[in-house]
Structure 1
Amino acid sequence: MMALVVTDSIGFSYPGLIISCFLSYLVCSAFYRVYCHPLSVYPGPRLWAISRLPNAYNQVTGNLSYRISELHEQYGPIVRTAPDELSYIVDAWQDIYGKPAPRNEELKKDASQFNPPPNGVYGLLMEPSDKEHARMRRNLSAGFSEKAMRDQEPIMKKYFDLLIQRLHENCEQPVDMVKWYNLTTFDVISDLTFGESFNCLEDSELNFWVSTFFRFLVAANLLGLAMKFYPLDKIMLSLAPTSLKQLQIQHRDITAAKLKKRLELPDPRTDFLSQAQKFYNTPEGMSFDELTTTAVVLIIAGSETTATLLSGVTYYLLANPQVLSKLTAEIRGEFRNESDITMISVNRLNYELAVLNEALRIYPASAGSLPRVTPPEGCTIAGRFVPGNTSVAVNHWSAYHSRSNFKRPYDFIPERWTGDAEFKDDNRKVLQPFSVGPRNCIGRNLAYTEMRVILAKMIWNFDMELCEESREWNKGQKVFLVYDKPPLMVKLKPVVRA
């Protein structure tokens, strides 16, 4: 009793002690992270070094890539963007995404990025194991080769031609090119994956599977962020609306049904699953669950990114008439008939390739970062030692818009890719929109085929003009894994030929 009286008399309280200890912990943690942490030698804003909250806030608001770009302008080519994260804009691609010496091993994917899929089985994109990823890739890579693209050209051509037909039918009024490019790329990749399309172009509207996918991307973005703040991800999953969970189940059921139908085709055809079908359900092959999870990613990643780039290049061409005029002269001078435009013949269009490379730079379909984690013993990246268990990445948007890499980085100038002397000091090697190394984008050949043929057909068929409401279409777009794009309204005038 005496002890209790004495304690009360000096104002002692357990809540006060807990608060004092907590505040002391915060102060000590902040001091350690700013001055004593192994990453303290790397520059960056102190608040970002102390807490992940500034990074998280910018990610939630869709501004993270733009904010990181500003930080690089202020602090230099390597910036600490969280207590355990570094962002790069120098050519560190091989060190981060390749198999750098002397280990000759990949840096691991950041496992905290992805929640396990509903079926508990990872697909090609999210598989954390290098060995399992390599096995899956072997089963799919043949379907994305240059030879496969040539074999698959008749399938793609059907949708390229239908796009042009639909635009001729609808060009009396301004059209939303974001919508039409999405319709096309979804039809192409669904046919090449499932053996049948979603009939988006046929119906001139987005299929249910397609029209709801952006909600899932935003949700996945938030959930991936929440995993950095355990147990917030568990709380978010428990509070997710029933309607969203039902949509996810519907998506997966539709995907599984289409995939099952494709795998049961009696006469296998040349498409993305041809090789996987040969070794289906064998130790060297892929299981049905692996293919299902992979198919979901293929449909989204393989369509949205190409549609995004086509939307971006269309905008920048129409916003830069001198570039559009030069490209128009090349395409219309090269092809007498539209039927002459093929995936082989477009390889002669050197200026078009420069235009697309510049579009990939100024409006990268993947604007963010693809984090990797350094091994426990640490490693060397861009000539400097990085401690173990650090999340590292080249940020696409920041690297491509840095004045240290490109002269006049916010100007759309394809000539920087054609040898113009003004841009001789540009660091063109830093442009890697499809990443590098064993996990680079498997759909690179498909993307270039679609971009080059569709753009050539658009320029050959139509004179285009931006509508007034889309004059600043590129301004203020948020990034949630992909851009939240507004409609791109364009006036189309069919070219009249003798």
Structure 2
Amino acid sequence: MIATLLLSLFVAGLLYYVFSAIYYVTLHPLASLPGPRLCAISRIPYWYVSVQGVDVPWMKRLHDQYGPVVRFGPTDLSYASAQGWQEIHGAKVQEKAVEFAPQPVNGVAPMLTTKHENHVRMRRLFSPAFSARSLKAQEPLFKKYADLLMYTISEVGADGAQPIDLGRLLNFTTFDVMAELTFGHNLGMLAKNEYSSWVESIAGFLRMLPFVAMINYYPVLRTILFERFQPKWIREKRETHCNYAAGLVDERLRVGSKHPDVWNLVIKEEKGRGLTLEEMHSNAENFMLAGSETTATLLSGAVYNLLKDGRSYTLLCEEVRGAFTSADDMTLESLANLPYLTAVLKESLRIYPPVPIGSPRVIQSAGQLIQGTYIPAATRVSVHHWSTYHSSANFTSPDTFIPERFLSPPPAEFAGDAYEAFQPFGAGYRNCIGQGMAMHEMRLLLARLVWGWDVELGKESEGWGSQRSFALWIKPPLVVKARLRKR
């Protein structure tokens, strides 16, 4: 009796899967879109490469083979075009596919992943903290950490006698900056030349992101298996990490601050109204990762590509060193007026985007027309940064680091480049709220580095660009020698 029942269930499940596979390949509204047949019936190929950290080159190969739109799952589409940015991120109402982000421990989604109405409200509340006026008020803080970074480079590198891991020092700097803006005080990493245990745990958690996405994607896995049998150490580690950030926010709110940090500017604007304490906790943790790791990653990539290229490094040195007689003269306005410096950062964002994957949106109930094809509700669509920026359909010599393509006007050879396809901070009303802050911080730190030091890439880092990724890149040490420039 039981054996017959089990056999019947197995046969029923098998038939369901077979008929579902036939439907997804032949009759589903996405059946006409290009992509591997196996991906049309299952997400397993994507999960397989994702857990290995090689989904970025895999997706690029699919776009090279199938074109600017690829069906890489039964209800998943990846785009690699300017039109994709306009039509996906230009929608008036966008909901993110939240299963691809860790769920907050306190159950309150941050601005990055919350629903449309909450996102609009939170963005309005946080906007004053990221405005041009606020950025100018925060300028002394950025200069303070730029000074400390230069001092630490000198101390750790013994004025050029010893190699240093510049990527590590850049991480210390950006996390300390964001901690002071978010918690009212830094984490002391740059001064101590060591990671805090809280930040160190982030790197380990990144490797778990594919598994988190997989569990969240399938409700059965989440509700029946993971929530019941989740290892206790995973839950405790996540709770400890989130509670640590929440405690720092609570302490900052209790003590107060006279500095123009995030909460001062938000509270001043709203007089304490509009954000719940739980929303503050969730967003603080999110700001720390989004505003720190990505900035340090981009700067590391910029330094690597500059030193590997040599020619562009020389041109940047000439521009920065020719513009300033003293580091004290580097201001938000003066740095923004250096065209080659900005071009270097933009080209670095193109060739080595800190977040190389797409940020999936869920098509709303009415469906949507994208690149001339009707896309049904509940489909997950995204523009894949790496594939878009490394496509010869969008950029001339896409795999070559050429900052000149972002000069104004660009050389004639780049006249056909699809600059609208370049959206490193996202597009539409859900784009990165802190992009102005990030650009200033990157300009300042990179300018200070090339103004004060002659930097040489270590042999052990010649293959630094070959990296795996789990939403963010897993960076090896960026070993350089930095010698004080003779003036």
* TM-score, length-scaled by structure 2: 0.94
Alpha-carbon distance in 1 for matches of 2:206, 2:271: 29
Task: Find the counterpart in structure 2 of residue 412 from structure 1.
Answer: 401
Amino acid at match of 2:265: Q
User: Which of 431, 441, 444 lines up with 2:432 in the alignment?
Assistant: 441
Task: Find the counterpart in structure 2 of residue 164 from structure 1.
Answer: 150
2:327 counterpart of 1:341: no
Q: CA deviation at 1:268?
A: 4.3
Alpha-carbon distance in 1 for matches of 2:5, 2:184: 67
Q: CA deviation at 1:437?
A: 1.5
Residue aligned with 1:206, SS: coil
Q: Deviations over 1:104-149 (max 9, x none)?
A: x312211333454211111211212x11111111111111111111
> Does the aligned pair in 2 maintain the 1:335–1:341 contact within 8 Å?
yes
Q: CA deviation at 1:385?
A: 1.9
2:259 counterpart of 1:272: no
> Does the aligned pair in 2 maintain the 1:223–1:236 contact within 8 Å?
no
RMSD: 1.9
Which structure 1 residue ranges, 5 or more long, are not aligned?
Answer: 5-11, 100-104
Q: CA deviation at 1:239?
A: 4.4
> Does the aligned pair in 2 maintain the 1:281–1:288 contact within 8 Å?
no
User: Which of 371, 377, 392 lines up with 1:388 in the alignment?
Assistant: 377
User: Which of 204, 219, 234 lines up with 2:193 in the alignment?
Assistant: 204
2:241 counterpart of 1:251: yes
Task: Find the counterpart in structure 2 of residue 356 from structure 1.
Answer: 345
* Farther-moved stretch of structure 1 (478-487 vs 380-389): 380-389
Task: Find the counterpart in structure 2 of residue 7 from structure 1.
Answer: none
Residue aligned with 2:31, SS: helix
Task: Find the counterpart in structure 2 of residue 490 from structure 1.
Answer: 480
Superposed counterparts of 1:80-479, under 5 Å: 80-91=71-82, 92-99=84-91, 105-114=92-101, 116-128=103-115, 130-171=116-157, 172-234=161-223, 235-266=225-256, 268-278=258-268, 284-418=273-407, 419-475=410-466, 477-479=467-469
Alpha-carbon distance in 1 for matches of 2:285, 2:242: 8
Q: Report percent identity of matched pairs.
A: 39
Query: How many equivalent residue pairs?
Result: 479
Alpha-carbon distance in 1 for matches of 2:349, 2:97: 25
Q: Deviations over 1:295-340 (max 9, x none)?
A: 0000111000000000000100010011111111111111111212
Alpha-carbon distance in 2 for matches of 1:471, 1:237: 44
> Does the aligned pair in 1 maintain the 2:391–2:398 contact within 8 Å?
yes
Alpha-carbon distance in 1 for matches of 2:194, 2:102: 31
Alpha-carbon distance in 2 for matches of 1:115, 1:201: 28
Alpha-carbon distance in 2 for matches of 1:425, 1:253: 50
Task: Find the counterpart in structure 2 of residue 50 from structure 1.
Answer: 41
> Does the aligned pair in 2 maintain the 1:276–1:285 contact within 8 Å?
no
Gap change, CA 1:383 and 1:495, over 3 Å in 2: same
Which structure 2 residue ranges, 5 or more long, are not aligned?
Answer: none
> Does the aligned pair in 2 maintain the 1:182–1:304 contact within 8 Å?
yes
Alpha-carbon distance in 2 for matches of 1:150, 1:325: 30
Higher CA-based Rg: 1
Amino acid at match of 2:110: G
Residue aligned with 1:491, SS: strand
> Does the aligned pair in 1 maintain the 2:181–2:261 contact within 8 Å?
yes
Alpha-carbon distance in 1 for matches of 2:138, 2:230: 40
Alpha-carbon distance in 1 for matches of 2:229, 2:164: 39
* Farther-moved stretch of structure 1 (212-221 vs 82-91): 212-221
Gap change, CA 1:225 and 1:496, over 3 Å in 2: same
Alpha-carbon distance in 2 for matches of 1:206, 1:315: 22
Amino acid at match of 2:96: K
Q: CA deviation at 1:279?
A: 6.6
Gap change, CA 1:115 and 1:165, over 3 Å in 2: closer
Alpha-carbon distance in 1 for matches of 2:237, 2:148: 29
* TM-score, length-scaled by structure 1: 0.92
> Does the aligned pair in 2 maintain the 1:186–1:198 contact within 8 Å?
yes
Gap change, CA 1:345 and 1:47, over 3 Å in 2: same
Task: Find the counterpart in structure 2 of residue 9 from structure 1.
Answer: none
Alpha-carbon distance in 2 for matches of 1:119, 1:488: 36
Alpha-carbon distance in 2 for matches of 1:62, 1:395: 15
